[in-house]
């Protein structure tokens, strides 16, 4: 675990199966959509899951689905997922006490459940039942479905798609990074029948993981946001990652469209794979001259980005309520999907102006330091070489107040395999290019960056073992006028650094 909490056992059971950028706590928050009519009736759920119900249980309403009794709402159906460490069946009584209408349990647990477990839907396998329910939800919907994968920024782009498309209809998307073998069917199963749009995030750590998820999703549009050096411990090269990401084409409906990054070095691999999969249409986004959705002008501000783009021949100007070139790239994806879905580009553009960066993904805080203030940029959610460089560019775009400095607080980028030391050392160049004068580092892999900075860049560096150590040292050194950016892989627990600074200096609302 990476948080100082004692999670419920079923969360522990499935946490190791989440893609590395998944949040171990927020990812389990309950979906909070309202459903009229109900999401499912009990008999429809029983039919879809091929489960057995007691006599008389037919038209009972199911208002939501849960795999976590801590966030379960009255009226939900509870799926007792069996994980690698613990088993959700041990919490069926807790689900009933929390108001679950029914608990979906495996037949080999019947007779072994403890306590008052309430109504049961008995199935051969709970995860297989969840998959069947997801397939049934996909079959009954008339929504336009988009699936997104990529090495960096999937969840942020998913949220931007949710925000933009919501201006034109009812959007269904997971509340967090539900992007693996249980998260995708859960997201699909939670989709109301009357949805106009559905945004499904699909992740992977190994080859072959995307194909069954996208075949379940059957999107009209499949997006590969980018391909980067992530999960290299499971791949021999970034080219292999590009091939694995391109599995998303395997589930496109006939006549569907692939949306690809025109600026990505691995674009030829993805285009070849799209041809092999007989993808009907391809749309490119980016800054390249031949991009179908092309960024023409970008202005980065402290808290937003303004851009002009050509969207398949239609000029669009918009403001996005978060800063960064990578955010502008995500906005191009949203515009491409909106155009493909015949959504109103003006409404979508206005909606994007209202979005804000979220916790761990660029959220900004204003710290009260001495007689002035410092700015804290929270990029602590995850890190890899591409996202690290983008975050350092964002820091470089911020001008410190008089007397202030640009400060980078960086932790290990995990799962980079044999190339880890070199990839960490390479971060020295964007640090130098962005005029960052003070660097704090934590983690064994960050020693390579420390040595490179000290030997070749002349940057003032402090290295520590852990987030706890670096948080305490950093808190004593921050001064008025500083702009501080914090980023590391989730397993480094750099949220502790953010929390330490907020506890010490507070958070002014007028950042």
CA 117 to chain CA mean position, Å: 34
Summarised one tens digit per residue, pLDDT across range 17-33 is 333 333 333 333 334 44
pLDDT by residue (tens digit) across 45-80? 999 999 998 777 778 999 999 999 999 999 999 999
Q: Quick check: helix, strand or coil at residue 187? A: helix
Task: Please answer whether residues 221 and 147 qualify as being in contact, where contact means their C-beta atoms are separated by less than 8 angstroms.
Answer: yes
Give the residue carrying structure tokens 């023409």: 296
Cβ-contact 374, 477 below 8 angstroms: no
- DSSP code of 246? G
| CA neighbours closer than 13 Å in the CB half-sphere of residue 454 | 11
Confidence at residue 459, expressed as pLDDT on a 0 to 100 scale: 86
Q: How far apart are CA 405 and CA 57, in angstroms?
A: 65
User: Could you give the count of Cα atoms lying within 13 Å of 19 in the half-sphere of its Cβ?
Assistant: 29
pLDDT given at position 508: 60
Distance (Å, whole) CA 498 – CA 484: 10
**Rounded to 10 degrees, what is the CA torsion of 333, 336, 339, 340?**
-110
Which segments of 246-286 are extended strands (E)?
257-261, 281-286
Contact 445, 438 (CB under 8 A): no
Question: Please, are residues 288 and 268 in contact by the beta-carbon 8 Å criterion?
Answer: no
Find how far residue 175's CA is from the centre of its chain: 9
Question: Measuring CA to CA, how many Å separate 145 from each of 79, 219, 345?
Answer: 25, 5, 18
219-to-51, 172, 214, 329, 442 alpha-carbon distances in Å: 27, 13, 7, 21, 41
User: Residue 310: which H helix or E strand, with range?
Assistant: strand 305-311
pLDDT at residue 145 in the model = 98
Query: Terminus-to-terminus CA distance in the chain, angstroms?
Result: 31
φ, ψ of residue 459 to 5 degrees: the values are: -90, 140
Cα separation of 480 and 503, whole Å? 17
d(CA 400, CA 403): 8
Q: Which of 390, 397, 366 is nearest to 505 (CA)?
A: 366
Domains and CATH numbers, the chain: 9-124 (3.40.1390.10), 141-352 (3.40.1190.10), 363-505 (3.90.190.20)
Handedness of CA 158, 180, 135, 69 (dihedral sign): negative
Buried b / exposed e along 28-66 (16+ C-beta atoms within 10 A) = bebbebebeebbbbbebbbebbebebeeebeebebbbbb
d(CA 30, CA 73): 8
Low-confidence residues in the chain, pLDDT < 50 = 1-35, 510-511
Question: What is the spatial distance between Cα 104 and Cα 111, in angstroms, rounded to a whole number?
Answer: 14
pLDDT of residue 36: 61
Report the relative pairing of strands 61-62 and 40-41 from DSSP bridges: antiparallel
**pLDDT attached to residue 440:** 96
CA distance 356 to 334: 15
What span, in angstroms and rounded, lies between the C-alpha atoms of 160 and 149?
A: 14
pLDDT of residue 443: 94
* β-pairing verdict for 406-411 and 483-487: parallel
pLDDT at position 8 is 33
Q: Give the alpha-carbon dihedral of 331, 336, 338, 344, to 10 degrees.
A: 90
336 backbone dihedrals φ, ψ, rounded to 5°? -65, -45
């Amino acid at each position: 675990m990476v948080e100082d909490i004692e999670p419920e056992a079923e969360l522990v059971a499935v946490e190791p199966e989440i893609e590395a950028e998944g949040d171990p706590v927020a990812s389990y928050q309950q979906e909070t959509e309202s459903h009229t009519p109900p999401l499912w009736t009990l008999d429809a759920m029983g039919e879809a899951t091929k489960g057995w119900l007691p006599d008389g249980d037919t038209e009972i309403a199911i208002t939501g689905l849960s795999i976590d009794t801590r966030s379960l709402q009255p009226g939900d159906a509870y799926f007792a997922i069996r994980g690698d460490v613990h088993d959700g069946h041990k919490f069926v009584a807790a689900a009933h006490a929390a108001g679950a209408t029914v608990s979906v349990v495996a037949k080999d647990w019947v007779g072994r459940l403890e306590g008052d477990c309430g109504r049961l839907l008995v199935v051969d396998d709970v995860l297989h039942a969840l998959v069947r329910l997801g397939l049934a939800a996909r079959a009954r919907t008339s929504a336009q479905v988009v699936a997104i994968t990529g090495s960096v920024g999937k969840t942020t782009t998913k949220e931007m798609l949710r925000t933009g498309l919501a201006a034109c209809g009812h959007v269904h998307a997971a509340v967090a990074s539900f992007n693996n073998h249980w998260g995708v069917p859960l997201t699909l199963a939670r989709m109301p029948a009357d949805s106009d749009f559905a945004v499904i995030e699909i992740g992977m750590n190994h080859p072959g993981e995307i194909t069954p998820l996208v075949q379940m999703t059957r999107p009209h549009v499949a997006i590969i946001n980018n391909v980067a050096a992530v999960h290299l411990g499971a791949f021999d090269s970034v080219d292999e990652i590009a091939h694995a990401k391109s599995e998303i084409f395997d589930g496109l409906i006939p006549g569907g469209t692939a949306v690809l990054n025109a600026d990505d070095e691995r674009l030829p691999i993805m285009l070849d794979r799209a041809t092999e999969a007989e993808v009907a249409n391809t749309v490119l986004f980016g800054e390249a001259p031949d991009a179908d959705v092309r960024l023409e002008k970008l202005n980065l501000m402290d808290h937003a980005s303004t851009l002009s783009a050509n969207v398949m021949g239609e000029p669009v100007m918009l403001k996005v309520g978060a800063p960064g070139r990578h955010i502008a790239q995500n906005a191009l994806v949203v515009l491409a999907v909106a155009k493909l879905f015949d959504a109103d580009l003006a409404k979508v553009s206005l909606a994007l102006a209202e979005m804000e960066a979220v916790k761990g993904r660029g959220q900004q805080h204003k710290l009260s330091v001495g007689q002035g203030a410092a700015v804290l940029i929270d990029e602590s959610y995850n890190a890899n070489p591409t996202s690290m460089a983008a975050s350092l560019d964002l820091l470089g775009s911020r001008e410190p107040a008089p007397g202030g400095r640009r400060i980078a607080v960086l932790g290990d980028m995990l799962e980079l395999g044999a190339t880890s030391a070199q990839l960490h050392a390479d971060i020295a160049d964007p640090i130098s290019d962005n005029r960052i004068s003070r660097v704090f580092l934590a983690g064994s892999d960050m020693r390579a960056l420390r040595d490179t900075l000290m030997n070749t860049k002349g940057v003032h560096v402090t290295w520590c073992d852990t987030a706890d150590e670096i948080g305490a040292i950093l808190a004593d050194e921050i001064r008025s006028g500083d702009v501080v950016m914090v980023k590391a892989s989730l397993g480094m627990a750099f949220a502790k650094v953010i929390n330490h600074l907020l506890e010490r200096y507070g958070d002014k609302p007028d950042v």
